[in-house]
Chain A
Amino acid sequence: MPRSTTQNSASTEPAESISAQPSATREPLLQVDNLHVDFQTYGGVVQAVRGVSFDVAAGQTLAIVGESGCGKSVTVQSLMGLIPMPPGRIHKGTATLRGHDILASKFIEGRDVRGREISMIFQDPMTSLNPTMTIGRQIAETLEVHRGYGQSQAFSRAVELLEMSKIPEAAKRAKQYPFEFSGGMLQRAMIAMAIACEPAILVADEPTTALDVTIQAQILDLLADLQQETGMAIILITHDLGVVARMADDVMVMYAGEVVERGSVDDIFYRSGHPYTQGLRLAMPTNKHNEDGLPEQTLIAIDGSPPDLFNPPKGCAYHPRCPHAMNVCAQQSPEQYALKPTASSTQGHGHQAACWLHHELCTPQGGRS
């Protein structure tokens, strides 16, 4: 679906080519183009990711937002080489990291590039760490494999990394096992391990979903501080729009394996061009005050549930739940429409939404925000 953006619409900016944007700071580090991932299961083929394109620049945070099953985790797992194949299959698309194709070179070059350049932290740190190894050794192992450090050198670097992640008494804690750490401390240890090789990109898959709100604030602050220090890019996967508002520069909203909208964080929150994004925002309580100075008390649910990816609906995947659905929505997938650029939008793709409301025949409603 986003494929169409490249060859289409002379009136709008060519979305897939970064050169169209003047901003020199937007040299993409990672460029993903038209990624398709599916899984062969007993029940049939699950089309988990259906044509996802995005790019990430150094020092920026891209948030990928969507509900469970929308393909956000599968997208980044395929970049990390974490998709079990079979049953998984990346049957189309490319991902280029500093000129290396990280999808094609799965086994040899891929591991090297990924180990050095991209690392990942997960939602559940307890199950992502080895319970039989001390925290310090697990971090040191990464450095031995990817950096060729000796054992003692690697261990002392591990202690430094734990200090960078603001773990108190790091030298003592490095000799402890995962069960001796609390959830928040484990996530800090995971972050220490992830930044061990000074990656260009840190992928954080729901890093704070399992944590309490005060610990979440600590971890988010830590990630932002580390990004400032190292200039790494962060790909943040989350379903929490509050976390997105706090952390993201750019946002990509996914639904049923497709990108429905992307843009700068302000575009998405203040000038959203897709009914799904708008629906998500209205489905969360806000703590704003209305004109009368009273707190907002509305919560508008999105009816229905996300589609079955064994058999995604024809046309726009969101049309069965969409309050603005038209006849065309059930027939044909919408293209990515570039929306009017605004002063604050600095990102490579500009603001785009895949929705028929932005077709020129539909402009009266199309400009809604």
Chain B
Amino acid sequence: MSASTNESTAVTKPLVEISHLVKHFDLGGGQRVHAVDDVSLSIYPNEVVGLVGESGSGKSTLGKTVVGLHDKTAGRVMFNDTELPARYRGEDFRAMASKMQMIFQDPYSSLNPRMTVGEIISEGLRLRKALKPAAVQQKVADWLRMVGLSPDHQSRYPHEFSGGQRQRIGIARALILEPEFVVCDEPISALDVSVQAQVVNLLGDLTKELGLTLLFIAHDLSMVRYISDRMAVMYLGSLVEVGASNQVFFNPKHPYTETLIASNPEADPEHERQRPSTTIQGEIPSPINVPAGCRFANRCPKAMDHCASHTPLLKPLAGAGEQRLVACHLYD
């Protein structure tokens, strides 16, 4: 939403620094799901980083591993220069809860149906801080107002709310502890178009007002371009391209990003009529048998012999600054 971060990031230190993070799921019998493979990404204070990719690319797993909902197989995550534990224990969650939070995709299953909205939103507060009940209630009422609901909604249950309203409850629950960093895992995918805009605008306003840093995971490319300062594109467990959102969207460098953006239908009939057919064949391979070399090589229209044997590294693109990274042999 703001373009200011690009210049300043070079000097400030990252708030969250993910380095060589790996998350594998063991299936037994020597088989493994390579959900996240050697991902490095720095997220700077007050910026919104969008993470896009197809389903099965590992973007949700990356988000959950960063906040500690999955153990890390290898690699590390630094938060404000402290390394986060590879495997969270109860006290780690309690310690980190007021620094990092998560907003989930499904507003229907992520709220406990047996708790009132007041209880859901205040739970973290009651566990974290020695506040008097009246103060807790006051804070919950304030937050309900901030997310566009009414303070009288405290005593109601989640089933009485629509999808968009539940997502607002999820936002209030995540933000009431005043975290610095929030992972939003597809927060708008389950919502209707008119309600998506409400939630995105609310998130954008709160981010600015509270100085939040967001990792915004979504598959809607136009929405990610709109909300994020920088965009990271993930394919089969690894990052293929990172850069300022508008640059990545309007001037993609990696052939996968190009395909992804060319496949994104634009709400403009004239534009669609002129669009050349750019579909690529095939589907994302299984993350159990990850292809050697570049993971996109078997679908890539520009693949070279070299690609099937050598894994490209995520490197700064020549002449485009430190923040524009591409993992492709075309730019070697």
Q: Which A residues have a C-beta under 8 Å from some C-beta of B?
A: 67-68, 182, 184-185, 212-218, 220-221, 239-246, 248, 265-266, 269-270, 279-288, 295, 297, 299-303, 305-306
Q: Note all chain A residues with C-beta closer than 8 A to B264.
A: 213, 242
Residues 271-325 of B contacting A (Cβ, < 8 Å) = 271-272, 275, 277-281, 283-284
Question: How distant is the Cα of A214 from the Cα of B260 in the complex, in angstroms?
Answer: 6
Q: Is the CB of B263 within 8 A of A216?
A: yes
Q: Note all chain B residues with C-beta closer than 8 A to A303.
A: 198
Dominant SS among interface residues on chain B? helix
Extra 4 A-B pairs, beta carbons < 8 Å, given A242-B272, A270-B269, A297-B226: A214-B280, A239-B192, A265-B269, A284-B197
Q: Is the CB of A245 within 8 A of B269?
A: yes
The 8 closest A-B pairs by CB, nearest first: A242-B265, A301-B197, A285-B226, A283-B197, A217-B263, A241-B267, A302-B194, A301-B198
Q: Which B residues have a C-beta under 8 Å from some C-beta of A?
A: 1, 54-55, 162, 164-165, 192-198, 200-201, 219, 221-223, 225-226, 246, 249-250, 259-260, 262-272, 275, 277-281, 283-284
Q: Note all chain B residues with C-beta closer than 8 A to A218.
A: 279, 281
- Which of A214, A248, A295: most chain B Cβ within 10 A? A214
Q: Is the CB of B272 within 8 A of A217?
A: no
A–B complex contacts, Cβ < 8 Å, 14 sampled: A213-B260, A214-B279, A216-B263, A221-B279, A242-B222, A265-B269, A283-B197, A284-B196, A284-B222, A285-B226, A286-B267, A301-B201, A303-B198, A305-B164
One of A213, A215, A216, A242 near B267 (C-beta < 8 A) = A242
Question: How distant is the Cα of A305 from the Cα of B250 in the complex, in angstroms?
Answer: 33
Nearest B residue to A67, CB-CB: B192
Nearest A residue to B55, CB-CB: A212
One of B194, B219, B246, B272 near A67 (C-beta < 8 A) = B194
Query: Nearest Cβ in chain B — how far from A95, in angstroms?
Result: 27
Q: Is the CB of A302 within 8 A of B250?
A: no
Nearest B residue to A302, CB-CB: B194
Question: How distant is the Cα of A286 from the Cα of B264 in the complex, in angstroms?
Answer: 11
Q: Is the CB of B162 within 8 A of A305?
A: yes
Q: Is the CB of A242 within 8 A of B266?
A: yes
Q: Is the CB of B263 within 8 A of A240?
A: no
Query: Nearest Cβ in chain B — how far from A227, in angstroms?
Result: 15
Question: How distant is the Cα of A246 from the Cα of B283 in the complex, in angstroms?
Answer: 21
Nearest A residue to B148, CB-CB: A303
Query: Nearest Cβ in chain A — how far from B293, in angstroms?
Result: 20
Question: How distant is the Cα of A128 from the Cα of B55 in the complex, in angstroms?
Answer: 21
One of B55, B193, B219, B250 near A284 (C-beta < 8 A) = B193
Q: Is the CB of A214 within 8 A of B259?
A: yes
Q: Is the CB of B221 within 8 A of A213?
A: yes
Query: Nearest Cβ in chain B — how far from A204, in angstroms?
Result: 15
Known contacts A287-B249, A301-B198, A214 near B192 by CB under 8 Å:
no
Query: Nearest Cβ in chain A — how far from B164, in angstroms?
Result: 6
- Which of B54, B196, B221, B267: most chain A Cβ within 10 A? B267
Q: Is the CB of A213 within 8 A of B54?
A: yes
Q: Is the CB of A213 within 8 A of B193?
A: no
Q: Is the CB of B266 within 8 A of A245?
A: yes
